[in-house]
Amino acid sequence: MNANQQSFEPVLTRNTHRPDSEKITTYLTHGGYQAVRLALTKSPDELIDMVKRSGLRGRGGAGFPAGVKWGFMPKDAPQKFVAVNTDEGEPGTFKDREIVERDPHQVIEGVVIAAYAVGASRAYVYIRGEFFLGVKRWIKAIADAYAHGFLGKNILGSGFDLDMSVHRGAGAYICGEETAMLESLEGKPGNPRAKPPYPTQVGLFSLPTLVHNIETLACIPHIIERGPEWFASIGTAESKGPKIYSVSGHVNQPGNYELPLGISLREIIYEHAGGIRGGRRLKAVIPGGASTPMLTADQIEIPMAFETLKAAGSELGTGAIIVMDETTCMVEAARRLAKFFAHESCGQCTPCRIGSVRLYELLDRIERGKGQPGDIELILETAQGIDGITFCPMGAALVNPARSAIRHFREEFEYHIINKHCIVG
Amino acid sequence: MKPKIELLPPAIENPRTRAMLLAALYIAQEQYGWLSPEAIQRVADRLKVSPGQVKSTASFYTMFKLEPRGKYHIQVCEGLSCYLVGGAEPIIDYVAKRLKINPGETTLDGKFSLEVVQCLAACDLAPALKVNDELYGHMTLEIIDALFSELAQSSSVERGA
Per-residue pLDDT tens over the stretch A193-210: 999 999 999 999 999 999
Burial grade of A381 (CB within 10 A; 0-12, 13-18, 19 or more): exposed
Is pLDDT of B158 > 50?
no
Instruction: Give the pLDDT of residue B153.
Output: 84
Q: Which residue of B has its CA nearest to A345?
A: B60
Cα separation values, A174 from A180, A193, A353, B24, B89, Å: 6, 11, 12, 21, 25
Q: How many CB atoms lie within 10 A of CB A212?
A: 27
Instruction: Give the whole-angstrom CA distance, residue A264 versus residue B50.
Output: 54
Nearest to A333 among B80, B122, B133 (CB): B80
Q: Which amino acid is at A370?
A: K
Closest Cβ opposite residue A170 in set B63, B88, B160: B63
- Sorted by where each begins, the domain ranges of chain B are 5-60, 72-153
Q: In B, which residues are within 8 Å of A248 by CB distance? A: 81, 84, 123-124, 126
Rounded Cα distance between A224 and A208, Å, is: 24
Strand-pair partners of A243: A259
- Cβ contact (<8 Å) for B123 and A248? yes
Give the number of C-alpha atoms closer than 13 A to the C-alpha of residue A383, restricted to the C-beta side. 23
Mutation to test the A interface, candidates B27, B43, B48, B124, most A Cβ within 10 Å = B124
What pLDDT sits at residue B161? Answer: 35
This prediction has a pTM of 0.94
Region label for A98, one of left (φ > 0), alpha (ψ between -120 and 50) or beta (otherwise): alpha
Fold annotation for B72-153 = Glutaredoxin (3.40.30)
- B123–A344: do the CB atoms touch at under 8 Å? no
Which domains occur in chain A, in start order?
3-232 (3.40.50.11540), 242-325 (3.10.20.600), 330-419 (1.20.1440.230)
Q: How many CB pairs under 8 A join A and B?
A: 131
What integer pLDDT is reported at residue A378 of this predicted model? 98
**Rounded Cα gap, residues A283 and B131, in angstroms:** 34
pLDDT at position B135, please? Answer: 94
Distance, in Å, from the CA atom of A83 to the CA atom of A101, rounded to the nearest integer, reads 19
> What one-letter code names the amino acid at A231?
F
Which pLDDT value is given to residue B15?
A: 65
pLDDT band at B36 (very low <50, low <70, confident <90, very high): very high
Give yes or no for residue B160 having a pLDDT over 50.
no
Cβ A151 vs Cβ A164: under 8 Å: yes
- Helical H runs in A158-261? 178-185, 214-226, 228-232
Model confidence at B159: pLDDT above 60? no
Sheet holding A209-213, edge to edge: A163-168, A122-127, A81-86, A209-213
CA–CA gap between residue A292 and residue A314 (Å, rounded): 6
Average pLDDT over residues B66-95: 95
Nearest CA in chain B to A183: B19
Strands A295-296 and A282-286: antiparallel
Which residues in chain A show pLDDT less than 70? 1-6, 425
Tens-digit pLDDT profile for residues B112-143: 999 999 989 899 999 999 999 999 999 999 99
CA distances from A244 to A10, A27, A47, A215, B60 (A): 9, 19, 24, 8, 31
Are the beta carbons of A59 and A213 closer than 8 angstroms?
yes
Residue from the list A171, A250, A337 with its beta carbon closest to the beta carbon of B62: A171
Full strand arrangement of the beta sheet holding B112-117: B112-117, B72-77, B129-131, B134-136
Distance CA A178, CA A156 (A): 31
- Can you name the residues that pair with A57 across neighbouring β-strands? A65
Interface of B with A in 24-83 (CB under 8 A): 25-26, 56-57, 60-64, 78-81, 83
Strand partners, A244: A258
- Residues of chain A in contact with residue B119, where contact means CB-CB under 8 angstroms, are 89-92, 290, 340
Q: What is the per-residue pLDDT for B8?
A: 65
Cβ proximity of B28 and A170 under 8 Å: no
pLDDT at B12: 55
Rg from Cα positions in chain B: 18
